[in-house]
Amino acid sequence: MRAILSTDPGGPDTLTIEEIADPTAGPGQVVVDVKAVSVNFPDVLIIQDLYQVKPPRPFSPGCELAGVISEVGDDVHGFSVGDRVLAAPGHGAMVERIALDASACQPIPDEMPFDEAASFLLTYGTSHHALKNRANVTAGESLFVLGAAGGVGLAAVQLGKAMGLRVIAGCSSQDKVDLCLDQGADAGIVYPRQPLDRDQQKALSNQIKEATGGGVDVVYDAVGGDYTEPSVRALNWEGRFLVVGFPAGIPKLPLNLTLLKSCDVVGVFWGAFTMMQPKQHAENISELFAMYADGAIKPFITDRYSLDEAPTAIRQLMERRAKGKVVVLL
């Protein structure tokens, strides 16, 4: 079978497409014929050895996939050949076939196409866990999303609206903000590209306060860098700041700000949550499928590529050009 492989650390140009042996299903496993893989920022990081997980090489990138079961191993219950499933193994998905633990697979609802199924679990799972379990949002609160037109960002925008929040989208360009407004955001802020000087940081803080009538209840930060501190400065009393990701760099924060606002800085690690709190994770997935069935959330896919074009797809995220989801189709 064909596979996109990382054989040396580096950018998308270091990836190769190679013929490798087909996988077989061990006990408790299924083999899935991959139909779609969505691209996520961890793909950009993992191939450069910049991610918290460093698989032994050669490995295939690709955090999440959707496909059809073609083989069922011993001791597998509840799955059959021909079933449509999605999964988020973290890496290894940019291949024609993949062996997965059956327990890590979710049946795909009939009405959900493969490209949307491959774009569902990681983005909505992360943003839902962040808003529901980590920020404990309540309807009527305000939410500012940094990087709102990205994968997890746009999921946070849609989920914020579905949860009754007033959502302000923050992005680096007007066309990204326009996409967020089309997807339901109540207001949008265009911020400059890095580096931001003190005046620009103050301006961003003031823009957030103006958009929320004085201060914001919850910040969803999937960007980091120079954007973090001004967002914390715009928080309300007892606000919550969700630490989700750092494409713009890992920021430092003056801790006196948390005292002055009596606010919480809350870490979000969805992958670890799925393993440490499987019951709550299962509940969350059921809620997300119900929201999808109701039309409250829907992956917004802007670009589709072939397996051979996977390096180009990853480059799109790396160069900050992606809007919504980018998907590789097989």
Q: Which stretch binds ligand NAP (CB under 6 A): 27-35, 38-46, 135-143, 232-240?
A: 38-46
Q: Which stretch binds ligand NAP (CB under 6 A): 77-85, 171-179, 199-207, 289-297?
A: 171-179
If binding is defined by CB under 6 A, does position 222 make contact with ligand NAP?
A: yes
CB of 198 to ligand NAP, least distance (A): 19
Q: Which stretch binds ligand NAP (CB under 6 A): 21-29, 77-85, 105-113, 263-271?
A: 263-271
Matching residue, tokens 């698989």: 55
- Dist. CA 263–CA 260, nearest whole Å: 8
Q: Which of 269, 277, 280, 287 binds ligand NAP (CB under 6 A)?
A: 269
Which CB atom, from 248 or from 288, has the smaller least distance to ligand NAP? 248
If binding is defined by CB under 6 A, does position 163 make contact with ligand NAP?
A: no
CA–CA distance from 1 to each of 51, 161, 203, 255, 319 (Å)? 27, 42, 53, 52, 30
Q: Which stretch binds ligand NAP (CB under 6 A): 53-61, 228-236, 238-246, 296-304?
A: 238-246
CB of 98 to ligand NAP, least distance (A): 20
Q: Which of 176, 233, 240, 315 binds ligand NAP (CB under 6 A)?
A: 176
Which CB atom, from 38 or from 212, has the smaller least distance to ligand NAP? 38
If binding is defined by CB under 6 A, does position 317 make contact with ligand NAP?
A: yes
- Dist. CA 146–CA 228, nearest whole Å: 9
CB of 67 to ligand NAP, least distance (A): 20
If binding is defined by CB under 6 A, does position 79 make contact with ligand NAP?
A: no
Size of the site for ligand NAP (CB under 6 A): 28
SS (H, E, C) the chain: CEEEEECCCCCHHHEEEEECCCCCCCCCEEEEEEEEEEECHHHHHHCCCCCCCCCCCCECCCCEEEEEEEEECCCCCCCCCCCEEEECCCCCCCECEEEEEHHHCEECCCCCCHHHHCCCHHHHHHHHHHHHHHCCCCCCCEEEEECCCCHHHHHHHHHHHHCCCEEEEEECCHHHHHHHHHCCCCEEEECCCCCCCHHHHHHHHHHHHHHCCCCEEEEEECCCHHHHHHHHHCEEEEEEEEECCCCCCCCCCCCHHHHHHCCEEEECCHHHHHHHCHHHHHHHHHHHHHHHHCCCCCCCEEEEECCCCHHHHHHHHHCCCCCCEEEEEC
If binding is defined by CB under 6 A, does position 300 make contact with ligand NAP?
A: no
If binding is defined by CB under 6 A, does position 120 make contact with ligand NAP?
A: no
CB of 324 to ligand NAP, least distance (A): 8
If binding is defined by CB under 6 A, does position 126 make contact with ligand NAP?
A: yes
If binding is defined by CB under 6 A, does position 322 make contact with ligand NAP?
A: yes
Q: Which of 218, 248, 265, 297 binds ligand NAP (CB under 6 A)?
A: 248
Rule CB under 6 A: which residues touch ligand NAP?
A: 40-42, 122, 126, 147, 149-153, 171-172, 176, 222-223, 244-248, 268-271, 317, 320, 322
